[in-house]
Structure 1
Amino acid sequence: MLTKVAAIHVLFSMPYRQMEGFLRKLSPFVQQDLAADYTTLFRRIRLFELPVSDTIGQTGKDVVVAIDSTGIKVTNRGEWMREKWRVHRGWIEVHVAIDRKSRNILEMEVTNETIPDEKCCIPLIDSAQNSLQSGTVRKVLGDGAYDHISIFNDLEKRHISSAIKIRSNASRRSKGSSYRAQCAREFLDAGYEEWAQRHNYGSRWAVEGVFSSMKRIFWESVKATSINGMFHEFPLKFSLYNILINC
């Protein structure tokens, strides 16, 4: 029941005082006492955890993972106030790994805006693999932000194919990663268009579709005002997104 209450709070951006009245009126229709004061609702939802791994639907045997990140505003005030008062509240960064085929979010991580994408890549992939009940991560799709030697070395150790876009001025030599050199030669010899078609790189935009859906459903900013609250709010939203697409 707490999952449904949390979903109401998140989906409708309903303040806790309004939720108290809403649940009191709803109780007779569901034949269950849902009444709780707003402070109790606040404490319970604040401590409620719904891991993304518990909401993943059916996936295939060989899973292709698309990874990316997006910035989320920490306040919903307009650009005029930002320019007028010259106060920059910053962003939080949401890093996700999704199953390209089912569009399920396999894993996500919330960081501040100073954490680079490449630092979250391998932990995301490892967590995504642990979240899969029967499938195995076979390939990773990512943009040029993930073109780092350490990532290619870690993918090679895990026997995961790379479909990460290589920089156009990349060296063909090893320079710390023979696997990246191999991927760079393939990319430079084939050219972007042929390489993208060969690896079905265009399907990486599935992750952009997830971000777009998330922002349409849950808005582009967080409701929480504390850092801990912000970092708790988005995992709950992504878990609810998985539940919605798997209904």
Structure 2
Amino acid sequence: MKAERKRWGHYKDKRDWKEYNERLVKRGEMYLNFDFLESWAEDVDSLNNGKVGSPFEYPESLMTFLGFMHVMLGVDYRGLEGFVRGLRKFVGEIKVPDYSTICRRVNALRLEITETLLGHQGEEVVISLDGSGIKVSNRGEWMRKQWKVRRGWIKVHLAVDKGKKQCVAIEVTDESVGGQEKFKPLVEEADRNIRAKGGRVAQANADGIYDMRDNFNTLDETGITPAIRIRKNASSRARGCPLRKKHVREYRELGYKPWRKKYGYGFRWRVEGNFSAVKRLAGEYVVATKRANVFKEVVMKFLFYNSILKHDAEGELPWRIGAG
């Protein structure tokens, strides 16, 4: 007689809906916070301090705000010029940048990931790593299927903090680069960024595609506990990686489910949740055409989403991340 399998049953959402609804309402309110108008002159003076050549006329906070509207809300550069014109009718005389200036300044923004992160003072942080694709245009699947038009993908490699659900490291490549090649730079970047916020990376979760000796050695060198799912045909020999040998044997002794429970491997979905949230908010495609600007736009999507989460927790406006 077969053992009766327990079904998952209906998922019960335990979130505080009152708090969640209010958080989303405050995000809408955030879009109409034009605090950069109050510090316009001061911010411009700061930009021009020691500058050689033509002086800046527009503050970095304005350009970060316009970059946020472009990347997260899908307003094109000409539309942004019109937005500032309309804003002038309500707030008095401000200088309106033309769309080419907006495009140039937005693509030159220097957004630092550490400025978008919440604090980790004294925390042992668990990160999850994965990759996903972003379309290089908004063409529909019909064009792709009917006319065999294929423009490729942009590959995004992320490390996401389990607790705060923020991206703590990001690498952007074309579709030819596999996730295995970006494991080490992601782990090292995540560790630097978390340490800059007062914590340390204690564990890294990743699926079987990252089951490689080099990746285990990277974690061994940085003192990070691996929670990488082992491939079915994995060898238990060390071959230059004692940590992987130990991990493979433990995985086989415990079995998948007890191993998953021990390491909290199920929380690896946090990284998939980050991808999903960004794609729903900012779209699954880019509008830039130059390679450098395409990569920049992708990074901005994830850093601006980080800044939204920071606003939810601390009230800091997203366009202040590029104003420093």
Q: Which category describes the TM-score, using the shorter chain as reference length?
A: over 0.9
Q: Does 1:217 align with 2:278?
A: no
Q: Does 1:59 align with 2:120?
A: yes
Q: Does 1:92 align with 2:154?
A: yes
Q: CA deviation at 1:20?
A: 0.7
Residue aligning to 1:48: 109
Q: Quote the Cα distance in structure 2 between the aligned partners of 1:95 and 1:163.
A: 18
- Gap regions ≥5 residues in structure 1: none
Residue aligning to 2:298: 234
User: CA contact under 8 A between 1:107 and 1:124: conserved in structure 2?
Assistant: yes
Amino acid at match of 2:150: H
Q: Quote the Cα distance in structure 2 between the aligned partners of 1:164 and 1:237.
A: 27
Q: Quote the Cα distance in structure 1 between the aligned partners of 2:290 and 2:115.
A: 26
Q: Could you tell which deviates more after superposition, 54-63 or 102-111?
A: 54-63
- For normalisation by structure 1, the TM-score amounts to 0.96
Q: CA deviation at 1:158?
A: 1.3
Q: Quote the Cα distance in structure 2 between the aligned partners of 1:212 and 1:34.
A: 38
User: CA contact under 8 A between 1:53 and 1:107: conserved in structure 2?
Assistant: no
Secondary structure of the residue aligned to 2:129 is strand
Amino acid at match of 1:225: T
Q: CA deviation at 1:31?
A: 5.1
> What percent identity do the matched residue pairs reach?
39
Matches within 5 A, 1:1-247: 1=61, 2-30=63-91, 33=94, 35-59=96-120, 61-132=123-194, 133-247=197-311
Amino acid at match of 2:81: E
Q: Quote the Cα distance in structure 2 between the aligned partners of 1:166 and 1:35.
A: 57
Amino acid at match of 1:98: V
Secondary structure of the residue aligned to 2:201 is strand
Q: Quote the Cα distance in structure 1 between the aligned partners of 2:222 and 2:146.
A: 50
Secondary structure of the residue aligned to 2:165 is coil
Q: Given the superposition, is the C-alpha separation of residues 30 and 149 from structure 1 closer, same or farther in structure 2, using an over 3 Å criterion? A: farther
User: CA contact under 8 A between 1:147 and 1:165: conserved in structure 2?
Assistant: yes
Secondary structure of the residue aligned to 1:246 is helix
User: CA contact under 8 A between 2:119 and 2:198: conserved in structure 1?
Assistant: no
Q: Tell which structure's C-alpha radius of gyration is larger.
A: 2
Q: Quote the Cα distance in structure 2 between the aligned partners of 1:43 and 1:185.
A: 54
Q: Quote the Cα distance in structure 2 between the aligned partners of 1:206 and 1:56.
A: 16
Amino acid at match of 2:231: R
Count of residues in Structure 1 that have an aligned counterpart in Structure 2: 247
- For normalisation by structure 2, the TM-score amounts to 0.74
- Gap regions ≥5 residues in structure 2: 1-60, 312-324
Q: Quote the Cα distance in structure 1 between the aligned partners of 2:244 and 2:223.
A: 13
Q: CA deviation at 1:213?
A: 0.2
Q: Given the superposition, is the C-alpha separation of residues 33 and 201 from structure 1 closer, same or farther in structure 2, using an over 3 Å criterion? A: same
Where has structure 1 moved over 4 Å in runs of 4 or more?
A: none
Residue aligning to 2:51: none
Secondary structure of the residue aligned to 2:158 is strand
Deviation track 1:129-151 (CA, whole Å, cap 9, x = no partner) reads: 11122001111000111100111
Q: Could you tell which deviates more after superposition, 208-217 or 123-132?
A: 123-132
Amino acid at match of 2:293: G
Q: Given the superposition, is the C-alpha separation of residues 31 and 100 from structure 1 closer, same or farther in structure 2, using an over 3 Å criterion? A: farther
Secondary structure of the residue aligned to 1:221 is coil
